[in-house]
Structure 1
Amino acid sequence: MQDIVAVLGQAWITSVMLLAVRIAALLFLTPVLYAVSMPAPVRLAIVLGLACVIALPLAGSGTAAVVDVGALIQAVLVEASIGATLGLGVLAAFAGFGLAGRLIDIQVGFGIAQVFDPLTRSRLPILSAIFGLFAAVFFFTIEGHHALMRGLAYSVELFPIGQGWTPAAAAEPVLKQFGALFALGFALAAPVVLGLLLVEFALGVVSRNLPQMNMLAMGIPVKIAAGLLALSVWATGFGAPASRLYAAIYQSWTGWFAQEGRR
């Protein structure tokens, strides 16, 4: 261990540990790592590996090592806050998919049928869990993990490891993204919700003209069939609003980085 410290330098090892805190706060706050079932030691190894790779250019840079306990705790909290702020953007995008799934679940009637969701580690309605899994698959399909790593690497340049930052610069971009979350999330489910609303109107007309029919027994299977049919048809146009949800992540980060760069 002493030989490793002598070769790499105490300052670089401290930088790796602090950067690992930033990466852990980013990844553990988002469902990215939970998309694939893996043990906790494997997740820790991934975080440390990414920290070593990103911090490799800092080796031998002459960065002073943090030796004071109070300064070290403060640096850990700073790194955790930066990583958590980055993670909020990713979390908002995944929450948009969850919102779309909940809207369809309520309209179809799947709200009471819940399954275990591995992404959120909780029980969710069926379509909400499916939307969450689709969000993770779509994220990796459009190479969102590559853009995530590029944003993380740029954050190291903009916010040097262990140094302070101004949370006020991130407030406006993050709030704008969360404000657009409901519109973008509804855009994912809007055609299906509209189709189910028309089915509700049709069932209401039938119930008005044929009061002897049990609309509760007939309406539920009709809405389920109509909802799944509308969802399968809408799947061909699902990519555009989903891409806008993920584009909002990088727009939020870009706005934050731009405001921080002007300071």
Structure 2
Amino acid sequence: MTGVVTELAGLLDLSEQYFWIAVLVFLRTGALVALLPALGEQAVPQRVKLVLVLAFTAIVLPVVAAGAPTVTPGLATFGSEVAAGLILGIGLRLFILALQTAASIIAQATTLSQLFAGAAPEPQPAIGNLFIVAGLALAVNAGLHVRAAELLILSYDILPQGRPPTPADVADWGLSLIVSTFSLSFSLAAPFVIASMIYNLALGAINRAMPQLMVSFIGAPAQTLGALAMLAVATPVLLAVWLQAFEAHLLQPFAVPR
């Protein structure tokens, strides 16, 4: 009888430990889903997000629980898991901000910044909405949900459960990733900026040669038409470059970009 009681007590301790591991996985997963592109957008209902968090937790928990250390519940432990999830989510969200930055640069360079102004729920040019919707669709089509589950599992090797991230390492990684994403946004917008500069230099030369000609009345519509044509041709290539960089980050999320 004593042996049975001892075994039951051991099972009770094991189930309690498993419960706290599940809570920590839920916290990290919830913080990631809150910032995850496509699945964590404001348009997604909260109930749908909760179901997604539970689904990711059910996928990640069996893998993590096999090698998880003994968990001591506490505010510090819970806070470290939330911080780890936010770090992962911010890293992914920066690539969406790269699309927004590239779209803003393109809109300013091609006089399309006021096209359909106020039609979007967020104060950004119409090109930004085009890039973001297309980028999110490509990411989901490329298996974003599968990559997100792999990212969560991989994160426990770099950010162990229950241990707070080192501020110095997070700062170095975050700064390098911000530099990399901004460089990506400038690279995406570079063809439009170069074309706009060449076009404006040509208009300046024409205006210098023919001062009586109203160059602005002729040049502005032509610039807008050329920008739209160039946007139609270049958008698939730009989104392919962005998707390649996004998938590379998902494969090695904690690699310091060079």
TM-score interval, smaller chain: 0.7 to 0.9
Residue in 1 aligned with 2:5? none
Query: Hey, what's the Cα distance between the residues in 2 that align with 1:36 and 1:8?
Result: 38
Quote the offset at 1:46 in angstroms.
0.9
Structure 2, unmatched stretches of 5+, are 1-11
Q: Give the TM-score taking structure 2 as reference length.
A: 0.79
Residue in 2 aligned with 1:172? 172
Residue in 1 aligned with 2:32? 26
Kindly report the root-mean-square deviation, in angstroms, between the aligned alpha carbons of the 2 structures: 3.0
Residue in 2 aligned with 1:15? 21
Residue in 2 aligned with 1:152? 152
Query: Hey, what's the Cα distance between the residues in 1 that align with 2:65 and 2:243?
Result: 37
Residue in 1 aligned with 2:90? 88
Query: Hey, what's the Cα distance between the residues in 2 that align with 1:185 and 1:61?
Result: 39
Quote the offset at 1:10 in angstroms.
2.9
1:231 has 2:231 as partner: yes
Cα-to-partner distance string for 1:72-107 (whole Å, 9 max, x where unaligned): x22221011111111222122112111110111112
Query: Hey, what's the Cα distance between the residues in 1 that align with 2:105 and 2:45?
Result: 33
Residue in 1 aligned with 2:79? 77
The alignment partner of 2:253 has SS state of: helix
Query: Hey, what's the Cα distance between the residues in 2 that align with 1:11 and 1:198?
Result: 65
Residue in 2 aligned with 1:184? 184
The alignment partner of 2:162 has SS state of: coil
The alignment partner of 2:44 has SS state of: coil
Query: Hey, what's the Cα distance between the residues in 2 that align with 1:104 and 1:60?
Result: 49
Q: Give the TM-score taking structure 1 as reference length.
A: 0.78
1:132 has 2:136 as partner: no
The alignment partner of 2:119 has SS state of: strand
The alignment partner of 1:116 has SS state of: coil
Paired residues of 2:33 and 2:49 also in contact (CA < 8 A): no
The alignment partner of 2:124 has SS state of: strand
Query: Hey, what's the Cα distance between the residues in 2 that align with 1:7 and 1:49?
Result: 25
Paired residues of 1:104 and 1:189 also in contact (CA < 8 A): yes
Deviates more, 1:26-35 or 1:129-138: 26-35
Query: Hey, what's the Cα distance between the residues in 2 that align with 1:209 and 1:82?
Result: 61
State the aligned residue count. 244
Query: Hey, what's the Cα distance between the residues in 2 that align with 1:243 and 1:31?
Result: 13
C-alpha change, 1:31 and 1:62, in structure 2 (3 Å) is closer
Deviates more, 1:230-239 or 1:126-135: 230-239
Query: Hey, what's the Cα distance between the residues in 1 that align with 2:66 and 2:238?
Result: 48
Residue in 2 aligned with 1:246? 246
Quote the offset at 1:137 in angstroms.
1.5
Residue in 2 aligned with 1:104? 106
One-letter code aligned to 2:175: L
C-alpha change, 1:60 and 1:102, in structure 2 (3 Å) is closer
Quote the offset at 1:40 in angstroms.
0.8
Paired residues of 1:26 and 1:84 also in contact (CA < 8 A): yes
State percent identity of aligned pairs. Answer: 23
User: Which structure has the greater CA radius of gyration?
Assistant: 2
One-letter code aligned to 2:174: V
Structure 1, unmatched stretches of 5+, are 1-5, 257-263
Query: Hey, what's the Cα distance between the residues in 1 that align with 2:218 and 2:16?
Result: 71
Query: Hey, what's the Cα distance between the residues in 1 that align with 2:225 and 2:68?
Result: 65
